[in-house]
Chain A
Amino acid sequence: MTFFKKPKKLIQEQESPKQKVTSQENSSPEKSPKEQNLSLDELLIKVKEPFSSTEDLMTHSIELPNDHNKIVLLYIDSIIDKQIVQSMILNPLFETANEINFESFRKMASIDLKKQTDFNQVKELLLQSNTLIFTEDTTSFFSMVTPVNTKRDITEPDNEAIIRGAHDGFIENLSINLALIRKRLKTPKLTIKYFRVGKETHTNIAIAYVDNIADPEHVKEVEKRIKSIEADAIHAPGNIEESIEDKPFSFFPQILSTERPDRVAANLMEGRIALVYDTSPTAHLMPVNFFSFYQSVDDYNKRWQIGSFFRFIRLFSFFIAIGLPAVYIAIVSFHFEVIPFGLILLIKSSLEDIPYPPLFEALLMELTIELIREASIRLPTRIGSTIAIVGGLVIGDAVVKAGLVSNLMIIVVAITAIAAYIVPSNEMSAAVRILRFPFMIAAATLGFFGIVFGFMILLFHLCRLYTFGSPYFAPLAPLNLADLKDAFIRAPFWKQNTRPKEVHAQKMDTTNHTRKWDNS
């Protein structure tokens, strides 16, 4: 309990800058209750005004047995935990109230109890799961965070499962998410800054970075972009991502989304900045490069040669997933000559009875795969296997038997589909899947020539893409041979002595001297 309270306290302390903003918004000409010198009942009517019609706003009046002063608890029933109210407010109050007054209760009560004088904050505090305590003294009131415990268990994120390594993942609660990061980075330099976006939704966001490593310019830039967001509602992290990314028209994800705290912690130590959200288990990392999307936590728990091999396979899959159907289309419709003699009869016989041009064949099958994929996400797992059978076996087998699609096309499409799902990041996988369609069309119109132009434009697009001022395709463009150690391959831990250059970390040296004992 105490462990989780720490971040909670942080929220409270950091609330003040944002609340200044709200108080500016509310700067209506009406006078504050203090100046009007209201009685307790009048004050309550006043503060309840913005919530006029909601029925879960509760008031609870208590008359103290000792001095017969009235105190009133005000809270929104649905978002507070009544047990906390009972144990943290009511029980201590009645234990002490027999002999002493409210002030002494305040002195001995929890650290979460705060004296407030700004009545403009009432609305804000109520919405942030506070229980407010009003006394006869109408110049001030007290607040205490009493959030209802609706946390789900910390589980491994399904979409980023790994074989070896930590199996915990973020959940829909900001303070727990931050706790998961802090648990891994027990350094005073880990800095958390809170922001609240969305005029009506008041979504809590935290920026996390390691102060002596992350580039202050980047931090400033991220803060600037987040502060500039103006919207009634920010529902999903996707809203934030789209608001702060550099090139919204690019197919490529420019911010790394992850649900793994270990991944966030590792990236923070490389000098990156994380955005952690309340109400969403996704964290965003920036600035990232193309190759960050191809790294998996698993790589670091394997032997480094094996990790390097799999990383290489993943990068290779990028080209297969984008280019394979295009190359196949180009070969069968333009460049039959490149097929070696032994294969030519095989391909010819497979293609002979197909009535459709290869492009149509490919589009048909690729779209079918996308349909199956989309359907299997929505379906519960029990029906999911049905889709796999219907989609995979029935469609795959039947279209060939029906003579609509050639055998080879099925093979090509299957390999492509597998290659696209090798990417550890779902966003990058989606980008790759979309990109294969323009390549297929280019191949069907101009053959190899079209594919080459496609790749040229794609690579150049990657070369000119920047995320938060750092080049996206680093360390390939600009070429930095030293940084390839964690991009193309996964160099052994004791070789990873520097942080990636494009992150502009303040300290380049990771001080990895883990094999000092080995003097040979």
Chain B
Amino acid sequence: MNNHTITHRQLFFLIVQTQIGVGVLSLPYSLFVKAKIDGWISLLLAGVFVQFSILAMWKLCDRFPQNTLFDILPKIMGKHLGFIFKFIYTLHFSIVSALILILYNSIVGKWILFETPSWVIIFVMAFAGAYFISSTPREIARFFVLVTPLFFILFGLIIYAYTDVHFLYIFPIGQTGIMTIIKGSSDAVVALLGFDAALVFLAYTTGTPAKKLKVISFASFCVTVMYTFIVFTTYIFFNPMEIVIVPEPVLYMLKAFSFSIVERTDLIFLSLWIISVATSFISYLFVAAKGIQSILKLHHHQSAAVYIALFCALVAIIPNEKLEIVTWNKYISLVSILFSGISPIILLLISVLRKKQEKGATAT
């Protein structure tokens, strides 16, 4: 356990990298479909909702120090029910990993590699995932810290859009009404998912509980701000009539720019975006592998790495129609909100009501 620990600073990057992922490209579009040009307000609201889940998650993990979600479940639910939920959670995390693969494949297939068969694209990522999770959380965290500066490049590219924006597009603010905005925020929560990886990674984090909470909360805050910035930028770049017809507004926006050294900025953006996708995928895959380890009582999660990656890849190959992907996305996202957004609160309630905690175990 000793060389598996991560610092709370590393946890920050882990959460940020997990949260920023496949959703960033289509987020403005999916928000626009629900909440029109007030989508960015929905996103901010979602950021606030997420903070509640994070608080519950942190409290839950704080009651069971150095326990991952999979250790906590049997302790608060009893052996048998706990085992069932362990299984469900593991399945959930692997399906989310598979969903990341599906969405990434659809974008890569549409924008970069038109001819390459989709299973190749999926298996390359799955292979990378298997390689990454065959190590310790500490090494994964180090890598995540290392690739974080790439965000600044992505950011810089998006800032370039401000040479051609029309602030009038977002007015009047709040035109769609409060209810629509709140409804839209459920979609926004999906994009912010990734903080749930903390359910496992918190167990490896050193530092005081207060620091940990600050770190996760701040990570989620940063991601919310960054997403809002991106969504806001696309909303003032495209006029409301245009966004409906561009499913990946960020890429279409970048496609329009050309510099004297690089013509298609979107390809550069996409190449770097793949790393963000990979980091989310790796986090979820790691969590799933930890679940397998806990179910099968394996000594190391490493031995599960190849199988879980293979499973996700095989699942990800199944949907091949665009509509199928949309359906999968819809249902898995709904389930994710339930498992990642709401269930930490429920789990916390159960553990409080049943008075289960292991606070004293911190010393050991």
Give the contact stretch, choosing among A145-153, A378-386, A441-449, A485-493.
A441-449
Question: Which among A335, A341, A476 has the greatest number of chain B C-beta atoms within 10 A?
Answer: A335
Report yes or no: B268 in contact with A478, Cβ–Cβ below 8 A.
no
Q: Is B316 an interface residue (CB 8 A)?
A: no
A449 to B142, CA, bound (A): 22
A337 to B265, CA, bound (A): 10
Tell me how far the C-beta of A333 lies from the nearest C-beta in chain B, rounded to whole angstroms: 12
Chain A neighbourhood of B131, CB < 8 A? 457, 460
Chain B neighbourhood of A338, CB < 8 A? 262-264, 267-268
Q: For window 57-114 of chain A, which residues contact chain B by CB distance below 8 Å?
A: none
Report yes or no: A447 in contact with B264, Cβ–Cβ below 8 A.
no
Report yes or no: A459 in contact with B124, Cβ–Cβ below 8 A.
no
Q: Is B256 an interface residue (CB 8 A)?
A: no
Tell me how far the C-beta of A316 lies from the nearest C-beta in chain B, rounded to whole angstroms: 15
Which of B128, B262, B267, B274 meets A457, CB within 8 Å?
Answer: B128
Report yes or no: B142 in contact with A337, Cβ–Cβ below 8 A.
no
Chain A neighbourhood of B10, CB < 8 A? 478
A339 to B263, CA, bound (A): 6
Q: Is B208 an interface residue (CB 8 A)?
A: no
Q: Is A477 an interface residue (CB 8 A)?
A: yes
Chain A neighbourhood of B146, CB < 8 A? 459, 463, 473, 476-477, 479
Q: Is A251 an interface residue (CB 8 A)?
A: no
Give the contact stretch, choosing among B40-48, B87-95, B108-116.
B108-116
Given contacts A446-B116, A459-B147, contact A337 B267 (CB under 8 A): yes
Question: How many residue pairs bridge A and B at CB < 8 Å?
Answer: 83
Q: Is B165 an interface residue (CB 8 A)?
A: no
Given contacts A337-B267, A476-B146, contact A448 B128 (CB under 8 A): no
Q: Is A309 an interface residue (CB 8 A)?
A: no
Given contacts A341-B263, A460-B131, contact A449 B147 (CB under 8 A): no
Which of A340, A456, A464 meets B260, CB within 8 Å?
Answer: A340
Q: For window 128-146 of chain B, which residues contact chain A by CB distance below 8 Å?
A: 128, 131-132, 135, 139, 142-143, 145-146
Chain A neighbourhood of B193, CB < 8 A? none
Q: How many residues of A contact B (CB 8 A)?
A: 28
Chain A neighbourhood of B272, CB < 8 A? 452
Report yes or no: B263 in contact with A452, Cβ–Cβ below 8 A.
no
Q: Is A356 an interface residue (CB 8 A)?
A: no
Given contacts A453-B128, A459-B146, A460-B132, contact A340 B267 (CB under 8 A): no
Chain A neighbourhood of B264, CB < 8 A? 335, 337-338
The residue in chain A whose Cβ has the minimal distance to the Cβ of B272 is A452
Which of A340, A453, A456, A471 meets B263, CB within 8 Å?
Answer: A340
A225 to B268, CA, bound (A): 46
Report yes or no: B124 in contact with A453, Cβ–Cβ below 8 A.
yes
Q: Is B22 an interface residue (CB 8 A)?
A: no
Tell me how far the C-beta of A221 lies from the nearest C-beta in chain B, rounded to whole angstroms: 15
Report yes or no: B259 in contact with A340, Cβ–Cβ below 8 A.
yes
A473 to B135, CA, bound (A): 15
Report yes or no: B271 in contact with A448, Cβ–Cβ below 8 A.
yes
Q: How many residues of B contact A (CB 8 A)?
A: 34
The residue in chain B whose Cβ has the minimal distance to the Cβ of A338 is B264
Chain B neighbourhood of A339, CB < 8 A? 263
Chain B neighbourhood of A449, CB < 8 A? 108, 112-113, 121, 124, 271, 274
Chain B neighbourhood of A340, CB < 8 A? 258-263
Given contacts A335-B267, A447-B112, A447-B113, contact A460 B143 (CB under 8 A): yes
Q: Is B275 an interface residue (CB 8 A)?
A: yes
Chain A neighbourhood of B271, CB < 8 A? 448-449, 451-452
Report yes or no: A459 in contact with B113, Cβ–Cβ below 8 A.
no
Which of A447, A450, A452 meets B275, CB within 8 Å?
Answer: A452
Given contacts A448-B112, A449-B108, A452-B274, contact A337 B128 (CB under 8 A): no
Chain A neighbourhood of B50, CB < 8 A? none
Q: Is B278 an interface residue (CB 8 A)?
A: yes
A239 to B138, CA, bound (A): 32
Report yes or no: A463 in contact with B112, Cβ–Cβ below 8 A.
no
Which of A446, A448, A450, A464 meets B135, CB within 8 Å?
Answer: A464
A463 to B140, CA, bound (A): 8
Chain B neighbourhood of A479, CB < 8 A? 142, 145-146
Interface bits A334-359 vs B (CB < 8 Å: 1, else 0): 11011111100000000000000000
Chain A neighbourhood of B124, CB < 8 A? 446, 449-450, 453
Tell me how far the C-beta of B15 lies from the nearest C-beta in chain A, rounded to whole angstroms: 16
Tell me how far the C-beta of A452 lies from the nearest C-beta in chain B, rounded to whole angstroms: 5
Q: Which residues does A use to contact B, with CB under 8 Å?
A: 334-335, 337-342, 446-453, 456-457, 459-460, 463-464, 471, 473, 476-479
- Apart from A446-B116, A456-B278, what are 7 other A-B pairs with CB-CB below 8 Å? A337-B267, A338-B263, A338-B267, A446-B124, A457-B128, A471-B142, A477-B146
Can you show 29 pairs from A to B with CB atoms below 8 A apart? A334-B113, A337-B264, A338-B268, A340-B259, A342-B260, A446-B120, A446-B124, A448-B271, A449-B112, A449-B113, A449-B124, A449-B274, A452-B272, A453-B124, A453-B128, A456-B128, A456-B147, A456-B278, A459-B147, A460-B135, A460-B139, A463-B142, A463-B146, A464-B139, A473-B142, A477-B143, A478-B145, A479-B142, A479-B145
Top 8 A-B pairs, shortest CB-CB distance: A477-B142, A464-B139, A337-B264, A448-B271, A463-B143, A463-B142, A338-B264, A477-B146
